[in-house]
Amino acid sequence: MEERMDGNLRMTPAGSILESRIFDGFSIDRVQYRSAGYRIIGWVMRPGGAGPFPVVVYNHGSRTGPDGSVDLARPTISLSTPAWPGVAAARCLVFFPEGRGYAGSEGPKLTDCGSGTEVMAYLQGRAADVSAGLAWLGGQAWADTGRVALTGCSHGAAVSLLAAPWGAYGAIVLQAPGLSAAEPSLGMALLAEAISGCTAPVHFQYAVDDLLSPITLSRDLVAAGRRQGRAVTLTEFPTQPGHSGHAQFDFANRALWAADFDRALQPIVGHQGPVVGMGDD
Identify the CATH assignment for 4-269 out of 3.40.50.1820, 3.40.50.20, 3.40.50.620, 3.40.50.300: 3.40.50.1820
DSSP state string for 75-100: -SS-TTPPPPHHHHTTS-EEEEE--T
**Cβ proximity of 226 and 261 under 8 Å:** no
**Distance between start and end Cα atoms, the chain:** 20
pLDDT at 278: 56
pLDDT at 67: 83
pLDDT at 73: 96
Helical (H) or strand (E) element with 120: helix 116-137
Helix, strand, coil fractions of the chain, as percent rounded to 5: 30, 25, 45
- Between the alpha carbon of residue 63 and those of residues 73, 145, 226, 258, the distances in Å are 10, 28, 31, 20
pLDDT at 81: 94
Look at residues 203, 123, 205, 106 and name the one whose alpha carbon lies nearest to residue 163. 123
**Cβ proximity of 228 and 195 under 8 Å:** yes
Q: What does the pLDDT look like over 179-204, one tens digit per residue?
A: 888 888 888 999 999 998 899 999 99
- Between the alpha carbon of residue 201 and those of residues 6, 11, 159, 268, the distances in Å are 38, 35, 16, 11
Task: Show me where the domains of the chain are located.
Answer: 4-269
pTM of the model: 0.92
Q: What is the DSSP letter of 70?
A: B
Q: For residue 13, give the 3-state DSSP assignment.
A: coil
pLDDT at 241: 82
- Between the alpha carbon of residue 271 and those of residues 41, 45, 91, 274, the distances in Å are 31, 20, 10, 8
Q: In the chain, which residues have pLDDT < 70?
A: 1-14, 278-281
User: 165-194 as b/e, with b when 16 or more CB fall inside 10 Å?
Assistant: eebebbbbbbbbbbbbbeebebbeeebbeb
Residue 165: asked if its preceding bond is cis (omega within 30°), the reply is no
